[in-house]
Structure 1
């Protein structure tokens, strides 16, 4: 059953990918302009980039994404659990979260760069800011939604606090964390693109903008395709984690 569902998903992805390329090729024929090369030209440019060049730029981007996500998860999980399990801390931190959450994080990019420079710290920090407050709110709400009777059952069989956390609290929090990451990942990657324009010589954002400035449109689109592929692989990774650790939700 799982293999059949997986095969159907792969077939749908292939059909959508083929449809996008058909539309792209038709647009290329209609425009007949160098700013929109054909799909074959872009794919040829992608394969001509070289494995080393691709690995270098994609590696830098992935490092920044993983570092930002990791920091956001650690801080968001700790604060979200604290707010979800403690009414006192929830009352203290709730106004802080709700006042700072609506602030558009991309607008903070100049401020972050002023304080932390143009290096890796500001890039990782921006990704972390995008995810942090969503993780906090999701974890807090997920933990608060766990029925108290669930903990009572474990208490009746002699479970300690660590066992309650591992068997009830963490699964409840992990479920909403994965959903939050899946929703926020696209925004985080978009922010990474803007941060990689400044103060760096590596990363997919820098690669795309460099090709654009050189008017190398096939290479520019090749970079966009690679950046999109990075996002797609990260989405698949989140889905894999969801399937592995949330099997009870996929029944």
Structure 2
């Protein structure tokens, strides 16, 4: 049954991908300019990219994303749970969150680089900052939305605090966390691109900008497509986690 549902979804993805390439090719014909190569030229450039270079650049980008997301989840989950279950901590931390959340995080890039340098730390911290406040707010609201009667039922059957957390609080928080990550990944990847322009020789952002400076437009677009593929795979991974751990929603 699951396979039957996945097949139409896969066919729709392939159809949209084909349509995008057709629009791309028509635009290429209309422009007739080197700044927009044909889809065939870009795929050929992608095919001729060295496997070691691609693996190295994609690997560095994925590692930075993973570290940033992990940090945001650990800190955001802790603070969000604290605010969601404790009215006192919610009153104390709520003004802090709401005063700092609206600040455009990309504007903090120069500040982060001044304090932490141009290396890996600043890149990971920027991704963490993008996700952190959204995780905190989502977890807090998700936990507060859990009816108290749910905990009362578990109390009546003798459930421990740990069992209440594992069976009620964590699933309620995990649901909104996965939705938040899915929404925020695009922004996090965009920020990663900016951070990889400075102080590094590895990463998809560096790869794309290097090709642009060399006026190698097919390779530049090939890098953009690889970067997009990384984002697509991460989206699929979040969907898989949602399917595996959120079975109760179905």
Q: Aligned-pair distance for 1:169?
A: 0.2
Runs of 4+ in 1 over 3 A off after TM superposition: none
SS in 2 for 1:102: coil
Partner residue of 1:26? 26
The reply on whether 1:70 has 2:70 as its aligned counterpart is: yes
Supply the distance in 2 between the matched residues of 1:28 and 1:138 (Cα, whole angstroms). Answer: 43
TM-score, normalised relative to structure 2? 1.00
Aligned to 1:243: 243
Aligned length: 250
Q: Over residues 172-222 of structure 1, what are the superposed CA-to-partner deviations in whole Å (9 max), with x where a residue is unaligned? A: 000000000000000000000000000000000000000000000000000
Report the counterpart of residue 186 of structure 2 in structure 1. Answer: 186
SS at match of 1:6: helix
CA distance in 2, matches of 1:168, 1:63: 31
CA RMSD of superposed structures (Å) = 0.4
Look up the match of 1:219. 219
Does the residue aligned with 2:102 lie in a helix, a strand or coil?
Answer: coil
Deviations 1:65-90 (A, max 9, x none): 00000000000000000000000000
The equivalent of 2:153 in structure 1 is 153
TM-superposed CA distance for 1:239, in Å, is 0.2
Deviation (angstroms), 1:21: 0.3
1:215-250: CA deviation from partner (whole Å, max 9, x where unpaired)? 00000000000000000000000000000000121x
Q: Gaps (5+ residues) in structure 1? A: none
Look up the SS of the partner of 1:230 in the other structure: helix
Consecutive unaligned residues of structure 2, counting only runs of 5 or more, are none
TM-score between both structures, scaled by the size of structure 1: 0.99
Superposed counterparts of 1:31-50, under 5 Å: 31-50=31-50
Q: Report the alpha carbon displacement of residue 4 of structure 1 after superposing the two structures with TM.
A: 1.3
Give the deviation of 1:50 after TM superposition.
Answer: 1.7
Other-structure match for 2:138:
138
